[in-house]
Chain A
Amino acid sequence: MSASKNVKVNVEYLTRVEGHGNIVVNVKDGKMEECRLDIVEAPRFFEGMLRGRSIFEAQHITSRICGICACGHSLASILAAEDALGFTPSAQTVKLRKLLLHQEMLDSHILHIYLLVAPDLLGVKSFVPLIDTHNTVVRRALRMKKNCNDVCDILVGRHIHPISSIVGGFTKLPQPKDLDAMLEILKGLQPDMEATIELLGALKFPEFSRPTEYVALVNNTNEYPLMEGELGSTDGLKLNKKDYRKLTNEFVVDHSSAKHAKASRESYMVGALARLNLNYDKLHPKAKKAAEFLKIKPVCTNPFLNTVAQAVECVHCLEDSIAILEDFKENGVKQEEVIIVGLNEKGTIPVKAGKGVGAVEVPRGILFHNYEIDDTGKIINANCIIPTGQNCNNIERDMQKLVPEILDKTEEEITLMMEMLVRAYDPCISCSAHFLNVKYVNR
């Protein structure tokens, strides 16, 4: 029957994703003629706008690329700026940044699992109907999200567009009472996290498999790498972060304002599933336990299970946050490290001309910021490469494999499956729409 089937799917403004994207599928007489994901977000020209701004403004500006990944962009920007300036942050600063990144991971994953994915698995259109049918679940989700936000409020002033985390360190540092408050919130989050893992264990995810290359940061230590290390993949790729362009290898396609990427094979995947596939052994023991309970182990080739990998990472980030805070409680926070920089009016940080790359594992995968500055600290060139942009190509290839496998379903069911597939990647389209390349004049 499916051999002569016609299917037309055209989802305009896909909902429950960050940013604007369309799904187009066209099957004629059982033959797939078109199958693609269009990125239709209005371009914002960030890289262009950064030119002429001070390197000390870059994190404030690029944080505004995305409301969900604000802390991630901010951190990648800071690392790139410090790399360009030749500045080495203190051990305390690095630890606080890791704590901040954990909150971002938790917050974003929780939003994705509960508000964006769960409605599909429970057969409703959004979390709103769940307020009546699954009130405790909705309350838990909102409470968990609020908890991460409250920790960010204490740590950096707020979660969306963090205030005190800057090039050089922090403009405000947590006091002993702040450490207690954050610890209390995060320990209070533990039972909700257990309930989340249980909930996910009860949900049924679509079965599908398409092996691809999984890319994430890798390192030689025992730490689950999120901010340090080099680029690695399941196909054996190893690159210094400075050579990220060899990985991302972008090419332009007409239908999308986000460039596509490929590395060792026709496409690759970044994000929670890629990280789990590459760095499973380094997860916190409790996170591994959650993974065993959820029956996910490396190498997992079902992109729908990216959501499950996110839940495993949530446990890791929560437990590691608690460990970091307990360590600070024991050893104290050196308040004398507070740094007020502004636009470096007082020359607090020595400035020289240079280039720098920041690579950070943000909720949706590896994020690159790359700046070139002159000897006054003005930005000459800027480039940001966003996880969703790297995943676009892989998403389309998944769609192209999935459609023929589900042709016997109704057009409505096919549409929903395609939406669920795209959502599983947790695409952040407002990010990817302006990550297009900048040509470096000197290269």
Chain B
Amino acid sequence: MSKPRVAFFDFTCCEGCQLQVANFGETLLDILNLIEVVTFREAMSEKSEDYDVAIIEGSITTEHDVERIKHIRSRAKVLVAYGSCATIGGINGMKNKFPLDEIGKYVYQDKAKHFPTLPTRAVHQVVKVDYFVNGCPVYQPEFVKVLKCILAGIPYAVPDYAVCVECKLNENVCMYDKGITCLGPVTKAGCNSWCINNGNICYGCRGMVTNPAKNGQMDILKKFNIALDWIINKLDMYNKPRELDERK
């Protein structure tokens, strides 16, 4: 079997998820035995228009992005949304809270017209996506799992239960019990509760579970006397573009 040709493309993002690939260390050489990377702008000058798997990092925020992602979709057999910006819009989505011309003027003043921008969208809100690798940044063990699924030609299902499930197994003390709000109860698992293991809270970077226990959540908010706005505002840090899903 010939190695699948894999291309990495970056859109609007910090490129940290691509860098997670370089951070594999020598394991990267084992991975390169199984796939042939044909485009990876951050680390390679070689470029190719001939690829089987397109790994997309970043969200779609300009007309140029839209054209480019459609072109890539038309050439790729398999398209992977890679990282929070690509899977849920991520941090870039906070922009959608402001009128675009207002935020443009705030940052670029009278030069704002040179930087046209669209509301931030996740990749699946523009073209069909075959695999999702969530997280900001992506969790390497999960990326390896997804790679294996791609190579085997089988689908990968992102865990659709709350981060709390993994967090409990890791025996962390609940942040709510420490008097701090955390988005673990409504966020998709799969990161092994990375942030809470390190003493921080969950910021919701993997996106909301599709069927959150709404009544349970309301009970928690009531019990700890937390305003709904407070939680919604926290959710919007990564998940603002979800509104564009609902409108569909």
Point out residues on A near B: beta carbons under 8 Å: 13, 15-20, 42-49, 51-53, 57, 60-61, 64-68, 70, 111, 115-116, 119, 125-128, 131, 138-139, 142-143, 145-146, 149, 156-161, 163-164, 166, 170-172, 252, 254, 257, 338, 340-343, 345-346, 430, 434, 436-439
Contact = CB atoms under 8 A, between A and B. Distances in A.
A160 B40 CA distance: 18
B198 A157 contact: yes
Contacts of B111: 252, 436
B239 interface: no
Contact of B19 (A20, A60, A160, A346): A160
A146 B25 CA distance: 5
B12 A18 contact: no
A164 B23 contact: no
Interface stretch (B162-170, B172-180, B210-218): B172-180
A164 B194 CA distance: 11
Contacts of B32: 128, 131
Contacts of B117: 42-43, 45
Contact of B107 (A19, A43, A61, A170): A43
B46 A125 contact: yes
Given A45-B103, A163-B198, A164-B198, A115 B22 contact: yes
14 contacts: A13-B41, A15-B42, A16-B45, A42-B12, A45-B117, A49-B97, A67-B17, A111-B19, A115-B22, A126-B46, A160-B23, A340-B199, A342-B180, A436-B111
B223 to A, nearest CB: 14
A36 to B, nearest CB: 15
A13 B108 CA distance: 23
B44 A60 contact: no
Given A49-B103, A163-B195, A61 B98 contact: no
Given A48-B107, A139-B26, A145-B25, A43 B14 contact: no
B194 A44 contact: no
A47 B41 contact: no
B25 A61 contact: no
B87 interface: no
B107 A438 contact: yes
Given A45-B103, A149-B23, A18 B15 contact: yes
A127 B107 CA distance: 37
Main secondary structure on A side of the interface with B: loop
A295 B151 CA distance: 49
A51 B10 CA distance: 26
A99 to B, nearest CB: 16
Nearest to A131: B29
B84 to A, nearest CB: 9
B137 A111 contact: no
Contact of A70 (B14, B42, B103, B237): B14
A115 to B, nearest CB: 5
B137 A44 contact: no
Contact of B61 (A42, A46, A60, A66): A42
B237 to A, nearest CB: 7
Interface stretch (B88-96, B126-134, B141-149, B153-161): B88-96
Contact of A64 (B37, B103, B108, B136): B136
List the 10 closest pairs (A to B, CB-CB), nearest first. Answer: A67-B16, A146-B25, A171-B199, A342-B180, A157-B198, A126-B44, A172-B199, A48-B103, A125-B45, A163-B198
